[in-house]
Structure 1
């Protein structure tokens, strides 16, 4: 009996925004991209680097910085975004 191998296509990650970070609040910042542009940046970063579930990671590049948390196998939350090449430990600052 021969088994046919099944190729299960990878689902496109779902990328949402934290309640604490609403990009529309920053629309007055000249270089602030749209939500879709932020999603594209994060998706490109996720292709190059993995995040463990329930962990956070900062992605920096091309004048952009995003802090992303992975909450499930294919779901991520953008907890903050900066239109510059800087990573700040926002969570550490909140505790002060």
Structure 2
């Protein structure tokens, strides 16, 4: 179970894409996340706002690669807190790889 003092969020960056995971720290536009997945393609949510609130409706149609232990994002432009339902939905998406 995640640390209750840590926020599970979706972070949209300027050029590195979108990530979901636990926010460890933030300093201006720099965000450090742990246990983060890049959200390459999602299905069943019309926007990141809906994804953060409800999760995905079609997890088998999404493309979320494996989780990384830690990532430093230097150009965060949007941070959305996720509901427990959204976190569970994101976690249920099979790891996409080629």
Which bracket does the TM-score occupy, shorter chain normalised? Answer: under 0.3
TM-score (norm 1): 0.23
Larger Rg: 1
Structure with greater contact order relative to length (CA < 8 Å, sep ≥ 6)? 2
Give the TM-score, by structure 2 length. Answer: 0.23
- Greater helix share, 1 or 2? 1
Higher strand share: 2
